[in-house]
Amino acid sequence: MTDNKNIDRRTFLKRLGAGAAVSSLALAGCDSAKKSASGNSSESLITGGEMTYRTNPKTGEKVSILGYGCMRWPTVKSNQSERGGEVIDQEAVNDLVDTALKHGVNYFDTSPAYCEGFSEHATGIALSRHPRDSYYIATKLSNFAPSTWSREASIEMYNNSLKELQTPYIDYMLLHAVGMGEDGMEAYENRYIKNGILDFLLKEREAGRIKNLGFSYHGDVKVFDYLLSKHDEYKWDFVQIQLNYLDWKHAKEVNSSNTPAEYLYGELEKRGIPAVIMEPLLGGRLANVPDHVVERLKQREPERSVASWAFRYAGTHPGVLTVLSGMTYKEHLEDNLLSFCPLKPLTEDEMQFLYETADLMMQYPTVPCNNCKYCMPCPYGIDIPANLLHYNKCINEGNVVASTQSENYKEARRAFLIGYDRSVPKLRQASHCIGCRQCVSHCPQEIDIPAELHKIDRYVDKLKQGKV
């Protein structure tokens, strides 16, 4: 085992595979604090009651149905960073964590890969200010890069997580994103089996330094099925899956590499394995739905936010332990607390209403980007998620048109082009993509990112020429 006390951040990021092409500290997986993350004081938050909790069947622990995803901590501009740019706003993180704990949130999910390696550090600072028994920490062994596949490097990453999180144990430890890659099974074998790391983690659980051991799943369903077939041997304590009302039946239509959530959840339910839910909003897409879908949801529940439908849907399933949400701003936290304090489960009629809503949404071919920012940084400075999300936004708002003869052509053209320049600086737009494909292997949704960027660039060019 390698002593990691003296590992520096530059070395760590290189070993993680996230630091080789970093051109700035524009933190991937973190959102720039264009507005205050602190917002109003915690006293201003109004909820309908107390947090709903689910019971861990193994430990009896009461886990908040709303879990805090630490992938998108707020950032601020800084001249003190190693290369200039942005750093995590620790004061804002502390405030968000304090507010979340005050209102009953006790599950915090992070990773060595989040925020370009800085999420665990910031999360550890914020949480360590509170009694250790007042919260549960979930983190991951994010040994994606071949340089981290050795036993020594993987154990070093694990020990570094304990150090950064300022804790002697991890409540919920995950094998991170199993199933990803061109050959999901081969990647799983290289990351966890051939190096003996899964055996190591199992022993750490026996020793009590890991309280619950599970995995998060993306990609190849054969890997998911295989790991569940080993449940009698490994005794998975929980599994993290992507679940929302669009992915319940339409996951493969959204992205051919995905697996319908109905199947994933059903297989866990059969075995009595609690599910931790990621992407309840599909990276924000279920909070930014087409206008006619907004109208449909508001007609049904005028006082509820569009996002609350997705959160209530995820939480309604009884086998769900917690629903993760990356909350950058106080406003996000407040809205989510309203959905879960307490959780009002959907009725069967409301569930059917959402499935019909999902059917309507599938008529709009948006790019399946979840804004996870695993694709970042781009070596050529392109803000990949911003390009894809602007395109999706314009589709949802009816501002992507088929021809100059479209009824709203002038308005749509103006909205797309002006909005594009406002949301994505010119030097970071799709036109700068050279098709190097370095981003593709990092995308959990397996999007052909260069193809999508080139499609956007062609569309923009035609709009500028007035040819579409």
In a domain, 3, yes or no: no
Is the C-alpha dihedral spanning 110, 112, 113, 119 positive or negative? positive
Let me know whether 272 and 393 are in one domain.
no
Q: Write down the pLDDT at residue 187.
A: 95
SS (H, E, C) the chain: CCCCCCCCHHHHHHHHCCCCCCCCCCCCCCEECCCCCCCCCHHHCCCCCCCCEEECCCCCCEEECEEEECCCCEEEEECCCCCCEEEECHHHHHHHHHHHHHCCCCEEECCCCHHHHCHHHHHHHHHCCCCHHHCEEEEEECCCCHHHCCHHHHHHHHHHHHHHHCCCCEEEEEEEEECCCCCHHHHHHHHHHCCCHHHHHHHHHHHCCEEEEEEEECCCHHHHHHHHHCHHHHCCCEEEEECCCCHHHHHHHHCCCCCCHHHHHHHHHHHCCCEEEECCCCCCCCCCCCHHHHHHHHHHCCCCCHHHHHHHHHHHCCCEEEEEEECCCHHHHHHHHHHHCCECCCCHHHHHHHHHHHHHHCCCCCCCCCCCCCCCCCCCCCCHHHHHHHHHHHHHCCCCCCCCCCCCHHHHHHHHHHHHHHHCCHHHCHHHCCCCCCCHHHCCCCCCHHHHHHHHHHHHHHHHHCCC
In a domain, 432, yes or no: yes
In a domain, 377, yes or no: no
138: CATH: 3.20.20.100
In a domain, 369, yes or no: no
List the one residue out of 35, 82, 55, 32 whose CA is nearest residue 136. Answer: 55
In a domain, 311, yes or no: yes
In angstroms and rounded to an integer, the radius of gyration of the C-alpha atoms of the chain is 22
Where a domain ends, among 361, 376, 401?
Answer: 361
List the one residue out of 385, 460, 382 whose CA is nearest residue 420. Answer: 460
Let me know whether 389 and 356 are in one domain.
no
Let me know whether 349 and 415 are in one domain.
no
Let me know whether 283 and 415 are in one domain.
no
Q: Write down the pLDDT at residue 19.
A: 35
Let me know whether 273 and 323 are in one domain.
yes
Q: Write down the pLDDT at residue 82.
A: 55
Spatial CB neighbours of 464, under 8 Å, sequence gap ≥ 6:
417
In a domain, 203, yes or no: yes
Let me know whether 198 and 121 are in one domain.
yes
- Cα separation, 350 vs 339, in Å, equals 15
Let me know whether 313 and 391 are in one domain.
no
C-alpha atoms less than 13 angstroms from C-alpha of 465 in its C-beta half-sphere: 9
Let me know whether 44 and 192 are in one domain.
yes
Let me know whether 164 and 210 are in one domain.
yes
In a domain, 80, yes or no: yes
Total residue count of the chain as it appears in this document: 468
pTM over 0.85: no
* Per-residue pLDDT in tens (0 to 9) along the chain, 468 residues: 334 434 444 444 444 443 333 323 334 445 544 444 433 333 445 556 899 999 999 999 999 999 999 999 999 988 765 545 789 999 999 999 999 999 999 999 999 999 989 999 999 999 999 999 999 999 999 999 999 999 999 999 999 999 999 999 999 999 999 998 889 999 999 999 999 999 999 999 999 999 999 999 998 999 999 999 999 999 999 999 999 999 999 999 888 888 999 999 999 999 999 999 999 999 888 998 887 789 899 999 999 999 999 999 999 999 999 999 999 999 999 999 999 999 999 999 999 999 999 998 887 678 888 888 889 999 999 999 999 999 988 987 888 888 888 888 999 999 999 999 999 999 999 999 999 999 998 898 889 999 999 999 999 999 999 988
Q: Write down the pLDDT at residue 125.
A: 98
Q: Write down the pLDDT at residue 445.
A: 80
Q: Write down the pLDDT at residue 15.
A: 44
Q: Write down the pLDDT at residue 30.
A: 57
Q: How many CB atoms lie within 10 A of CB 179?
A: 24
Let me know whether 337 and 453 are in one domain.
no
Question: What amino acid occupies position 167?
Answer: T
Number of domains in the chain: 2
Six-digit token pair at 216?
């998060």
Cβ contact 184:156 at 8 Å: no
Cβ contact 273:244 at 8 Å: no
- Cα separation, 202 vs 204, in Å, equals 5
Let me know whether 226 and 289 are in one domain.
yes
In a domain, 2, yes or no: no
Cβ contact 394:455 at 8 Å: no
Let me know whether 408 and 269 are in one domain.
no
The whole domain housing 405 covers 384-465
Q: Which residues of 275-308 are buried (b: 16+ CB within 10 A; e: fewer)?
A: bbbbbbbbbbbbbbbbeebeebbeeeeeebbbbb
Q: Write down the pLDDT at residue 6.
A: 40
